[in-house]
Amino acid sequence: MQNEPKVQSSDADVIIRSCDNIEFHVHKRHLEFATGGFPPADTPSSLGEIVRLSESSSTLEILFQFVYPQRHPSLDKLAFEELLEVAEAAEKYEVYGALSACHLILREFLHSHSKQVLHFACRHRIAPLVERLAPIMMDTSLSEVKDSLIVCPSYFFAWSLFREQYLQLSIALAQSRPQHKCDNFNIFTRVVLQKLDKPSNLMMSNLENLFNIRSIGGLENIQVCCAMESRKWYHAVRERVAKIPDFTLETPDGY
């Protein structure tokens, strides 16, 4: 970051100092209109009063650029940790433009930083992020995510119910495997059932690969009857999966 902050207005009426002692000269009126976490512009204050914030100058540098009526900064070059700091500050001070931008860019980290994004999204009740994470984190045990989800009990309940439906289907499939006498088909069913230790394999997007009998080593030249039976099993399971509702949070602010 440059020594001279980009947000530095000569006619500013408030000075904000970061935790690393960098000062930003900004306008109260812009803070009032672009945020919900700063006092109104007509709030009395002492001349030259300095407002001290706990965020770093690099975070505030980005945040305050969303306050002014100008082209907003791009966030897609930020490392995850930097983005999360900006997102936390945007939530804290309710910087509306930054909120939307951060939520959008955080989607790019759903796979690589799932747990951190989930923790952030649950604390701030950001339902769209939690909804996207549920299928991605299907194979993550409830014990690993409960501390994040429990801050919003309605999220915890919906997440648990969503995952439980796939777990119950896995159990049901293991208890009612199709009966076919060919040895190759028995090998196929064992392989499929072994893969059910990951409930995500039952999600609609993964079913075709799960039931692809020809993808199993040694079963490339299977009999027609086995191929037909595998497709029959696939379609039966597909019908059951189709009945599982998508994960949605209808009341994101509720408990």
pLDDT 10s digits, 23-72:
998 888 888 888 987 766 555 566 567 889 999 999 999 999 999 988 89
For the segment 178-187, the average pLDDT, to the nearest whole number, is 85
Strand locations in the chain (E): 14-17, 23-26, 50-52
For the segment 135-146, the average pLDDT, to the nearest whole number, is 97
State the average pLDDT for the chain: 88
Q: State both tokens at 212.
A: 């692809």
| H and E: helices and strands count for the chain | 11, 3
For the segment 93-127, what is each residue's pLDDT rounded down to a tens digit?
Answer: 999 999 999 999 999 999 999 999 999 999 999 99
For the segment 3-23, what is each residue's pLDDT rounded down to a tens digit?
Answer: 555 656 667 788 899 999 999
Question: Residue 163's pLDDT is what?
Answer: 97
Q: Would you place residue 194 in the very low, low, confident or very high pLDDT band (cuts 50, 70, 90)?
A: very high
Question: Residue 251's pLDDT is what?
Answer: 54
Place of tokens 């300095």: 50
Q: Is the pLDDT of residue 252 over 60?
A: no
Question: Residue 199's pLDDT is what?
Answer: 94
What is d(CA 68, CA 30) in angstroms, rounded to the nearest whole number?
6
Q: Would you place residue 254 in the very low, low, confident or very high pLDDT band (cuts 50, 70, 90)?
A: very low
Exposed, middle or buried: residue 82 (CB in 10 Å: 0-12, 13-18, 19+)? middle
* pTM of the entire predicted model: 0.87
Question: Residue 220's pLDDT is what?
Answer: 64
Q: Indicate left, alpha or beta for 62 from its phi (over 0: left) and psi (-120 to 50: alpha).
A: alpha
Question: Residue 171's pLDDT is what?
Answer: 94
Q: Is the pLDDT of residue 182 over 90?
A: no
Q: Would you place residue 177 in the very low, low, confident or very high pLDDT band (cuts 50, 70, 90)?
A: confident
Q: Which amino acid is at 162?
A: F
Q: What is the dihedral of CA 81, 104, 78, 82, to 10 degrees?
A: -30
Question: Residue 5's pLDDT is what?
Answer: 55
For the segment 143-174, what is each residue's pLDDT rounded down to a tens digit?
Answer: 999 999 999 999 999 999 999 999 999 999 99
> How many other C-beta atoms lie within 10 A of the C-beta of residue 53?
17
